[in-house]
């Protein structure tokens, strides 16, 4: 700590000039053995850039009255900066939070078959837009459309970059400069400031809200229809839940109303699903198959949520509106790339082969028995020198899916000792786990660090145990 009078001295012109002179030159710093070795891992230009930036940073610090660093401290700072520049910042983590579709941690992990398909597609050339039978140009959609139609009963299908771009494309191509009617309770925000009214405005369509936040009736839609109306839009409230006195119009009823008035019916399913979630003790989630059966013209949903695949936006429906979307200029701007297209196709094949629960990681986690979760939690606990217990808890699906619906689980709980408890020990342990490679991410509740085996692949158990033993030894047993 610098005392006020010392700070004034350091900030004097003479003191600053002395501090500046104590900084080594770029060339002298680069002659340090550790920085010369660093060049073999990165490059001379990268290390040179890191050195210059570090020296400039310390010059500014000295100008603010801080003392000059030691040469060793400078070298450490250069190495840290070079690694920050030259190393990938997107790294694997182990998700022990109990949130299956954790948006901040990349949402759905992918099956082995999906990963293999994506790697194969990225390694060389492929028939992305080439018809091998005719030798002529083909469509990338041909690799995915037939399996989507077979799974859902849709007449046609289109895949784009993500669900937001799918909805934007649909509204732009089919409802620009016209009205789209939706329930006031469905003018939602799904996170990241993605709001249905904003998307509607961007597409050029006019949003017409009907009903109230909690109650909307068929007559509300019908009374709002004008000659300028293009479509009715149902938006599934996938990331929130309204309970109590509520009323909404069934999709089948909206379908009848749309046909009577010659309107399109659009259905934004949000996270999307092909399996019956109630089978696993979760709340009901509308499926893509149900949407198609109800007669919608277009249904939109994500690929990296309850489907369990890579990021994508899936659009299902009838041939004519899908054809209009294909021809729209925006379709090229939001099209999916070859790697994710290959991964999505491989994921969908799991459903076609009736092996989604066995092969797709999120469905493996959802279907994992409580007995198995507890067995693993106790195995972790047994390795931590009595510093952890196993407690009851809940896992959630997450990713804007099934709000309020949980799965019973067992959690590993680590607390600082009651006697002389260091209230910061749990936070420091959590940080130590985050800085482990691979990082292990848990959650803190009260004075306990909690880790849920449900969202951790079995093959990572030894890594988790090793990271936990290190964190406990450093922060609880030292």
Burial category of 415 from C-beta neighbours within 10 Å (exposed 0-12, middle 13-18, buried 19 and up): middle
* The predicted structure's pLDDT at residue 270: 87
Burial category of 65 from C-beta neighbours within 10 Å (exposed 0-12, middle 13-18, buried 19 and up): middle
Give the count of beta carbons closer than 10 Å to the beta carbon of residue 99.
20
Give the CB-side neighbour count of residue 167, counting CA atoms within 13 A: 26
Separation CA 36–CA 53 (nearest Å):
17
DSSP 418-452: STT--TTHHHHHHHHHHHSSSEEE-EEETTEEEE-
Give the count of beta carbons closer than 10 Å to the beta carbon of residue 202.
11
Sign, CA torsion 294/300/303/304: negative
Phi, psi (degrees; rounded to nearest 5) at 359: -110, -30
Give the count of beta carbons closer than 10 Å to the beta carbon of residue 434.
13
Cα 128 from chain centre: 26
Separation CA 268–CA 188 (nearest Å):
11
Contact assessment for residue 280 and residue 295, using Cβ atoms and an 8 Å cutoff: no
Contact assessment for residue 426 and residue 415, using Cβ atoms and an 8 Å cutoff: yes
Contact assessment for residue 197 and residue 187, using Cβ atoms and an 8 Å cutoff: yes
Tell me which residue of 257, 258, 316 sits closest to 289, measured CA to CA: 316
SS3 content of the chain, % helix, strand, coil (to 5): 45, 20, 35
Tell me which residue of 367, 370, 343, 340 sits closest to 356, measured CA to CA: 367
Q: Which residue has the tokens 């390795």?
A: 383
Separation CA 103–CA 400 (nearest Å):
8
Separation CA 345–CA 445 (nearest Å):
40
**Region class of 431: left (phi > 0), else alpha (psi between -120 and 50), else beta:** alpha
Sign, CA torsion 416/421/424/425: negative
Enclosing H/E stretch for 398: strand 388-398
DSSP E strand boundaries for 236-309: 264-270, 298-302
Give the CB-side neighbour count of residue 339, counting CA atoms within 13 A: 9
pLDDT digits (tens), the chain, 478 positions: 444 444 445 567 777 788 888 899 999 999 999 999 999 999 999 999 999 999 999 999 998 888 989 999 999 999 999 999 998 888 999 999 999 999 999 999 999 999 999 999 999 999 999 999 999 999 999 999 999 999 999 999 999 999 999 999 999 999 999 999 999 887 776 665 567 788 888 899 999 999 888 888 999 999 999 999 999 999 987 666 677 777 888 999 999 999 999 999 999 998 889 999 999 999 889 999 999 999 999 999 999 999 999 999 999 999 999 999 999 999 999 999 999 999 999 999 999 999 999 999 999 999 999 999 999 999 999 999 888 999 999 999 987 778 778 999 999 999 877 655 566 888 999 999 999 999 999 999 988 999 999 999 999 999 999 999 999 888 777 6
What is the reported pTM? 0.87
Separation CA 466–CA 146 (nearest Å):
46
């Amino acid at each position: 700590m610098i005392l006020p009078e010392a700070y004034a001295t350091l900030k004097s012109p003479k003191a600053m000039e002395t501090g500046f002179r104590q900084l080594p030159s770029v060339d002298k710093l680069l002659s340090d053995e550790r920085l010369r070795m660093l060049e073999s891992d990165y490059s001379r230009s990268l290390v040179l850039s890191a050195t210059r930036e570090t020296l400039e940073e310390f010059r500014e610090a000295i100008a603010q009255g801080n003392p000059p660093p030691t040469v060793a401290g400078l070298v450490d700072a250069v190495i840290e900066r070079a690694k920050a520049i030259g190393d990938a910042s997107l790294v694997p983590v182990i998700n022990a939070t109990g949130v299956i579709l954790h948006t901040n941690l990349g949402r759905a992990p992918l099956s082995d078959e999906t990963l293999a398909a994506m790697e194969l597609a990225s390694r060389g050339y492929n028939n992305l837009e080439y018809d091998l039978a005719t030798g002529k140009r083909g469509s990338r959609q041909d690799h995915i459309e037939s399996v989507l139609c077979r799974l859902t009963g849709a007449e046609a299908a289109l895949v784009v970059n993500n669900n937001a771009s799918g909805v934007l494309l649909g509204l732009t191509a089919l409802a620009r400069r016209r009205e789209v009617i939706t329930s006031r309770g469905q003018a939602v925000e799904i996170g990241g400031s993605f709001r249905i009214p904003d998307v509607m405005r961007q597409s050029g369509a006019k949003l017409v809200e009907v009903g109230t936040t909690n109650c909307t009736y068929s007559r509300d839609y019908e009374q709002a229809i004008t000659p300028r109306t293009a479509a009715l839009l149902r938006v599934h409230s996938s990331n929130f839940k309204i309970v109590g006195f509520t009323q909404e119009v069934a999709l089948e009823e909206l379908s009848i109303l749309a046909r009577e008035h010659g309107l399109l019916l659009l259905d934004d399913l949000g996270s999307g699903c092909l399996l019956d979630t109630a089978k696993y003790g979760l709340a009901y989630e509308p499926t893509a198959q149900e949407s198609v059966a109800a007669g919608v013209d277009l249904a939109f949903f994500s690929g990296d949520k309850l489907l369990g695949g890579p990021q994508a936006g899936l659009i299902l429906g009838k041939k004519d509106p899908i054809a209009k979307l294909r021809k729209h200029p925006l379709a090229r701007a939001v099209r999916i790339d070859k790697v994710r297209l290959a991964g999505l196709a491989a994921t969908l094949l799991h459903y076609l082969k009736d092996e989604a629960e066995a092969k797709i990681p999120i469905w493996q986690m959802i279907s994992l028995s409580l007995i198995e979760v507890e067995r693993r939690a106790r195995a972790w606990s047994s390795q931590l020198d009595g510093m952890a217990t196993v407690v009851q808890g809940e896992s959630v699906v997450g990713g804007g899916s099934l709000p309020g619906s949980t799965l019973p689980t067992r959690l590993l709980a680590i607390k600082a000792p009651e006697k002389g408890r260091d209230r910061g020990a749990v936070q420091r342990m959590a940080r130590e786990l985050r800085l482990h490679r691979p990082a292990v991410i848990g959650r803190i509740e009260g004075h306990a660090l909690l880790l849920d085996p449900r969202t951790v692949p079995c093959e990572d158990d030894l890594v988790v145990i090793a990271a936990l033993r290190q964190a406990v030894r450093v922060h609880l047993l030292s």
